Amino acid sequence: MVTGASSGIGAATVRRFAELGWQTVAVARRADRLQALAAETGAYPLVCDVTDEEQVSRLAAEVAHTGGATGLVNNAGGAIGTESVERSSNEDWRRMFEVNVLGLRSVTAALLPVLREGARRTGWASILNLTSTAGHDVYPGGAGYNAAKFAAHAVTGVLRLELAGEPIRVMELAPGLVHTEEFTLNRLRGDAAAAAKPYLDVTPLTAEEVARVLVGAFEQPPHVNQDLIVLRPVAQSSVFHTHRGPLAPRAE
Ligand SMILES: NC(=O)c1ccc[n+]([C@@H]2O[C@H](COP(=O)([O-])OP(=O)(O)OC[C@H]3O[C@@H](n4cnc5c(N)ncnc54)[C@H](OP(=O)(O)O)[C@@H]3O)[C@@H](O)[C@H]2O)c1
């Protein structure tokens, strides 16, 4: 089951799983996009707002009754705003926490019994949480998103400890700059010109490249737990250092 499957990394992940013969459940709020993805990949589309606990319970029940699940990708998430701590609003922070942290918790809690059932049937189950390099390094203007993704990182670590002894691996994928159509546009409240800037004169990761690595973690032998995968474009050596322009070997 992949949350946030209606665009970007989530949709690319469903496509990659489908290419390798996995049956997926694609979850997001926008039904039309899920239907199109389902028609293309054979995924089972389920509309759910992961910040609504009742909808999440119904989602888990439907997954349980339509074949169960052995894997969960908590990908639904995003950033809102780039204002400083001083100028940002609790309203934006609340929305970021709702989707990146509380949504991840509710979906994980609701799916765990289904995943255990899957593990009884097949021997194993897997959970992978999409955090970000913003969940490991802070930067000015990032506070709300940093705080939410640091929290998602922490929850991932706690979950791994709490599930010790069960055949359920808990993994984290933390990408750097990925060019998806909506992430920065949403972060910058629909300002398309500003949203294009981070991707100028640099080759960012694509959603497909992230999906390949993500699905690769599920394709490992099931006792192999890739605790933390950090993935950046070569041009971005840290959250602070993005090389713009061509990359070239240095003169000796
Ligand atoms: N792009 C980057 O540079 C980057 C870098 C590092 C990490 N990440 C993380 O990777 C994940 C995917 O990012 P992306 O770039 O693919 O972003 P995206 O294209 O904006 O996709 C976000 C997805 O989450 C879904 N979503 C948002 N709120 C939801 C909710 N309340 N309930 C259910 N689904 C919800 C959206 O679908 P609906 O609107 O249809 O619900 C959409 O499918 C996010 O967690 C993001 O923080 C992104």
Tell me the per-residue pLDDT of 70-122, one tens digit each, with 9 for 90 and over: 999 999 999 999 999 999 999 999 999 999 999 999 999 999 999 999 999 99
Structural contact between residues 187 and 79, judged by C-beta atoms closer than 8 angstroms: yes
pLDDT of residue 68: 98
Q: Could you tell me the pLDDT band of residue 244, with boundaries at 50, 70 and 90?
A: very high
| pLDDT for the residue 252 | 85
Asked whether 26 and 45 are in contact (CB, 8 A), the reply is: yes
Residues 175-203: tens digit of each pLDDT:
999 999 999 999 999 999 999 999 999 99
Count CB atoms within 10 A of the CB of residue 207: 23
- Report domain extents, the chain: 61-240
C-alpha pair distances (Å), 120 with each of 36, 114, 225: 33, 10, 18
Q: Which amino acid is at 13?
A: T
Work out whether strand 236-238 and strand 241-242 pair parallel, antiparallel, or are unpaired.
antiparallel
Class level of CATH domain 61-240? alpha beta
CA of residue 51 to ligand 1 center, whole Å: 13
Task: Please name the residue whose Cα sits nearest to atom 25 of ligand 1.
Answer: 4
Structure tokens at 35: 């239907």
User: According to the model, what pLDDT value does residue 39 have?
Assistant: 98
C-beta separation of 20 from 211 below 8 A: no
Ligand 1 pocket at CB < 6 A = 3-10, 28-30, 33, 49-51, 75-78, 99, 103, 130, 132, 175, 177-178, 180, 182-183, 186, 207
Q: Tell me whether residue 145 is one of the annotated catalytic residues.
A: yes
* Mean predicted confidence (pLDDT) in 33-59: 98
Beta strands at 44-47 and 71-74: parallel, antiparallel or unpaired: unpaired
- pLDDT score of 28: 98
Residue 133 Cα: closest atom of ligand 1: 6
**85 Cα: distance to centroid of ligand 1 (angstroms):** 23
Nearest CA residue ID for atom 32, ligand 1: 49
